[in-house]
Chains A and B, each alone.
Chain A
Amino acid sequence: MGLPDASGDLSSEMEVDAFRRLFPLRYFERHLSESIRPDARPLGRARDTTLALGAVASAHGSALAKIGSTTMLAAIKMEVMTPFNRVTGRRLHWPAEAAPVISKQLSDTISSSGMINLKELSLVSGKAAWMAYLDIYCLDADGALFDAALLSAVAAFSHLQIPIVSLNDDGKIELISEEDDGAKLEVEPVNKEKRKLTLSSIPFSLTCILHKNYILADPTAEEESIMETAVTVVLDSSSRLVSFYKPGGPVLAHTSAVQDCVALTRQRVKELQNILDETLSGMEID
């Protein structure tokens, strides 16, 4: 910040909290030069990540994702529509300015990754198809919002149970509720087999902060506000690049930084894939 030399002398006398508030950048740089961050993480390590599936009982698929204290709740509601079928995003309870941008990024990422085979959402070709409404609630925003949003969305899609429907005499689609499954055996369900989506090439993301020559993986809100250059890399499970997103920022990304960010994301994709697999297999046992 403004007075680098003055702060250098003061740091030995001042209380840590006061120093952190007055010279936030200096405070961080002192940590970074020791290859550690104020929350005791090494520069390239992401925060603890947890996933819980089925958090919303009324939705057809839902997931709660926590990265550090950033918390996102995703819920999917299925509705029968006449095709064109597509995945839409609706979002509420978001930090106001970020909402439309992240929402757009998220629907771009999900559609361009080809994770969902839209043919699987078709019920009667050309007549009826599923519309998946994805709602994501940001319960706590502490940096790396897009990463948490994408993780919760992906987990919700892998948890998704498509409801059983049947064609009635008028050629209209009717929901068969779980309870009277036995009673309505005379009507043939349209989608008995297709209750789960087969997700191919699942996208995972990692946001990194670039500051001087340092690369900080999975920043907190404090780190994002002090060091402004963020890069979000999205890779799918077969390590293809779905998105390389760097909206401006004072630090320029040179080839070496691009490659380092991609390498960090590759590691992170493996971690997240494991977390997702473990959570899913945990569900099956229950």
Chain B
Amino acid sequence: MESERDDGRSPSQLRPLSCARNVLHRAHGSASWSQGDTKVLAAVYGPKAGTKKNENPEKACIEVIWKPKTGQIGKQEKEFEMILKRTLQSICILTLNPNTTTSIIVQVVNDDGALLVCAINAACAALIDAGIPLKHLAVAICCCLAEGGYVILDPTKLEEQKMRGFAYLVFPNSVVSVLPKGLSHVEGEPMEHGIITSVTHGVMSVEEYLKCLERGRAASTKLSDLLRRSMQSQLPSDSSKAA
């Protein structure tokens, strides 16, 4: 039984998205990303010379600094930093600029659910704005599992609290490539169906998780199209800035 949501959305309807790039003057790249009332600002500085201690100097290093809306950072934010760092590491080409550090600063402007997802999307847009070469984009989506076993996408904070479990999923976007289609398939599945990152909370059955994956994939295709379009439409102004 699929029920109507509080804000009148259908279960797989996302909140209005908006993305703006180049919002900060001093950063090398920046972006703001909002999904409904959740808004995150991301800034990219670098690549700067040298890596921190305990990092492999043969590769580029990614550093993520999480700034909460108020107060100090706690365990939750530390975990977000780590997940964000690992996710961005897997989409960046780390061998390109060895022994450099790229800092990504994520400022939470407002949290109304699906915060990590919003931060990943913002950070990814900021990396594009900074002109950092990427293998592909990362498209993040939050799937919630309601009491009746149905899946809703992109929950608000209120919905997140009511739900039995939720999964943050990050997928690669579909790559527009000159190579023949078959090459990007792995074991009969297109490349964009693989998960970069998965974080779940709450107990669910394995079937329910796979259902979340399926819904998430379907929505991520739409999201990645939108991301690509918004990036392309902003490109002309960007190249004029560079000139």
Residues of chain A whose beta carbon lies under 8 Å from any beta carbon of chain B: 97, 100-101, 103-105, 108, 112-114, 201, 213, 229, 231, 236, 239-256, 258-259, 262
> Are the CB atoms of B78 and A101 closer together than 8 Å?
yes
User: Chain A: interface secondary structure?
Assistant: mixed
Chain B interface residue count, Cβ-Cβ cutoff 8 angstroms = 39
Most buried by B among A113, A236, A255: A255
Assess the A112–B198 pair: CB atoms within 8 A.
Answer: no
Q: Which residues of chain A are near B199, meaning CB under 8 Å?
A: 243, 245-247
Q: Give the residue of A112, A213, A247, A255 whose beta carbon is less than 8 angstroms from that of B203.
A: A112
B residues apposed to A, CB below 8 Å: 54, 75-76, 78-79, 82-83, 85-90, 165, 167, 170, 172, 186-187, 189, 191, 193-206, 208-210, 213
Say how far A130's CB is from chain B's closest CB, in angstroms: 22
A247 touches B83 (CB 8 A): yes
Please report the C-alpha to C-alpha distance between residue A231 and residue B200 in the assembled complex, in whole angstroms.
12
Given A100-B79, A258-B210, A236 contacting B186 (CB threshold 8 A): no
In-complex Cβ contact of A244 among B76, B85, B90, B200 (8 A): B200
CB-based nearest A residue for B135: A250
How far, in Å, is B114 (CB) from chain A's closest CB? 17
Chain A residues near B167 (CB-CB < 8 A): 244
- Report chain B residues within 8 Å CB of A250: 90
Tell me the bound Cα distance from A209 to B179 in angstroms: 29
Asked if A247 contacts B189 (CB within 8 A), the reply is: no
B75: which A residues are within 8 A, CB to CB?
100-101, 103-104
Is B201 touching A248 in the complex (CB atoms < 8 A)? Answer: no
Chain B CB count within 10 A is highest, among A100, A244, A247, A262, for: A247
| Residues of A close to B197: CB separation below 8 A | 246-248
28 A/B residue pairs, CB under 8 Å, sorted by A? A97-B54, A100-B78, A101-B79, A103-B75, A104-B75, A112-B201, A112-B202, A112-B203, A239-B205, A240-B206, A241-B208, A243-B201, A244-B198, A244-B209, A246-B198, A247-B197, A247-B199, A248-B88, A248-B196, A249-B90, A250-B90, A252-B186, A252-B191, A252-B194, A254-B195, A255-B210, A256-B187, A259-B210
